[in-house]
Amino acid sequence: MKLSIIVPVYNMASDGKLQYCLESLVHQTIKDYEIIAVDDCSTDSSMEILADYARKYPEKFHAVHSEVNRKQGGAKNIGMDRAVGEWIGFIDSDDWITPDFYERLIRRGEETGADMVGCDYHLTDKHSMEIGQIVHNNKKEQTGILDEEKYKSLILDGGSLVVKVYRREIVIDHPGRFPEGIFYEDNALGNSWMLRAKHFEYIEEPLYYYYQHAVSTVHTITQRRCEDRMEAGRIMLQEAKQYQYLEKYRTELEFSFAVLFYVNTLFTYMQGVRPVKYGFVKRLGSEMKQTFPGFEKNPYYCQRVHEEEKKLVRMQMRSTFLFIYIINCSGHIGISERKENRRRMAPHENFNENKSDLCNQRMLYRLFFVAWK
C-alpha cells in the first residue's frame, strides 16, 4: 500500500462539511491508497456518513468508530494503529485538498529521497476550489538534506502537520503516539517528527484548503482549551528530554514553549474567558518562570514578540493583579484565536487595531509600567 490517509471525525455531519472533505479524498489521483476515517464517538450522524462511504468505496475506505471520545489525538492514534501505507497523511475532517495533493507530494518525495514533504494552503470560508488567502506553510531554505540550522528553522517555523505527508518510519514505526483527551495534540509531537526526518521537500503551491468557520474546534476560547495548550507545551518538552534533543536546541525550544505554553495562552485567555481567574493567570506565569527563568532574554522572543506584548508579559511576571486590572480597564488585548495547533505561529498578532483603543490601553499601562523599568 502506497498511502494511508487518517481522518479524525467528531460531529461534522452538518452543512455538508464532512462530505466535502471525503469527496476530495475518494477522488485522489494517486493509486493504491486507503482512507481511515475514525469517528470519535460523535453525537450526530457523522458515523452514518462514514459508513455510507465505506459501502460505496469498500476497496479503499475504512470507517472506524470509537466508543469513547478520545479527542483528535486519540482518533489519530486509532488510525495510525491500522495504517499500512508506506506514506502517512492526515487531514482535518472539515478541510479538503486538490485531487492531485497526495500524488504530487509523494512524487516529490520519491524523486528526491525526502521522507517529509509539504506545501502551502488556502484559508477559506466557503466550500469551493477557488483560491483563498494563501498561507506559506514553510520556507524554501528549510528544504533538502536536513542539518542543524534547518532543524532549528523547522522547530521555530514548522508549519502545519496536516499539510504534509510522511514516510511511515517517522510517525508509525516508533513508540510515540499523540496525547489523548486534549486539543493542540499536534504541537506536542511536531518537533520529534520533524527531527526524525532526514530530508524535507516543499512545494510552494497551495494544495490544501483550511476551512474557517464559527464552529471550528479551535475557535472557542475556554479555560479548558487554555489548559490543553499548556499540557501540549509540557509534553513537547517531555518529548525533547526523552529523545535527548532539548539541550542541542534549547534556545529554539525555549521560545517555542514560551509561545505555545505561555504567550498564546495568556492573551487568548484574557481575550475570551470570563470571568478571569486570578489563580489561573498567576499559575500560568509561575510555571513559565519556573520552566525557563530567562525566557524574556531569548533572542527569538526579543525579535519576534510584539513590543507591547513584551511589556505586558513583563508586568504579569511582576504583578498578576496589576496585569489583570490593566487588561480589564483597557478592553481585551490578545492574539486572535487561529489554528495555532496546526501552524505554531509566533505571537505577533496582537492588539485591538482601533487607534483610540490603543491610545487608551497605552495610557493605562504606561502609568504602571514606569515602575517596572
> What are the tens digits of pLDDT across the range 291-309?
999 999 999 999 999 999 9
Using the predicted structure, report yes or no on whether residue 208 has a pLDDT greater than 70.
yes
Average pLDDT of 59-68? 98
Does residue 289 carry a pLDDT above 90? yes
Task: Report residue 215's pLDDT band, with 50, 70 and 90 as the boundaries.
Answer: low
Name the pTM for this structure: 0.87
What superfamily does domain 3-211 belong to in CATH? Spore Coat Polysaccharide Biosynthesis Protein SpsA; Chain A (3.90.550.10)
Q: C-alpha distances in angstroms, 253 versus 38, 148, 234, 257, 300?
A: 32, 14, 11, 6, 10
Is there a contact between 135 and 120 (Cβ–Cβ < 8 Å)? Answer: yes
d(CA 70, CA 112): 37
Contacts for 194 with CB less than 8 Å, ≥ 6 apart: 116, 151, 154, 155, 158, 200
When pLDDT is cut at 50, 70 and 90, the band that residue 343 belongs to is: very low
Q: Cα 41 from chain centroid?
A: 22
Q: Dump pLDDT digits (tens) for 346-358.
A: 333 332 333 344 4
What pLDDT, on a 0 to 100 scale, did the predictor assign at position 248? Answer: 98
Q: If pLDDT is split at 50, 70 and 90, which confidence band does 221 have?
A: confident
What are the start-end ranges of the E strands in the chain?
3-9, 33-39, 61-65, 87-90, 96-97, 116-124, 133-135, 144-145, 164-167, 199-211
pLDDT at 219 (0 to 100):
52
Residue 119 near residue 208, CB atoms below 8 Å: yes
Contact 95, 20 (CB under 8 A): no
Q: What is the pLDDT averaged over residues 250-272?
A: 96
Q: How confident is the model over 305-329, as pLDDT tens digits?
A: 999 999 999 999 999 999 998 888 7
pLDDT of the residue at 165: 98
Residue 206: CB partners within 8 Å, gap ≥ 6?
A: 119, 120, 121, 122, 131, 132, 134, 135
- Span of 210-219, 258-267, 270-279 with lowest mean pLDDT: 210-219
Extents of the domains making up the chain:
3-211, 223-372
Mean pLDDT, rounded, for 248-270: 96
Give SS3 for 78: helix
Q: Which residues contact 269 (CB under 8 A, 6 or more apart)?
A: 221, 223, 226, 276, 280, 281, 284, 334
Q: What are the two backbone dihedrals, phi and then psi, of residue 177, each rounded to the nearest 5 degrees? A: -135, 165
Q: What is the pLDDT at residue 214? A: 59
Q: Residue 130 to residues 2, 120, 208: CA-CA distances in angstroms?
A: 29, 15, 11
Asked whether the CA dihedral 180, 185, 188, 194 is positive or negative, the reply is positive
The pLDDT tens digits for 86-125 are 999 999 999 999 999 999 999 999 999 999 999 999 999 9
Report the share of the chain in percent with pLDDT over 70: 87
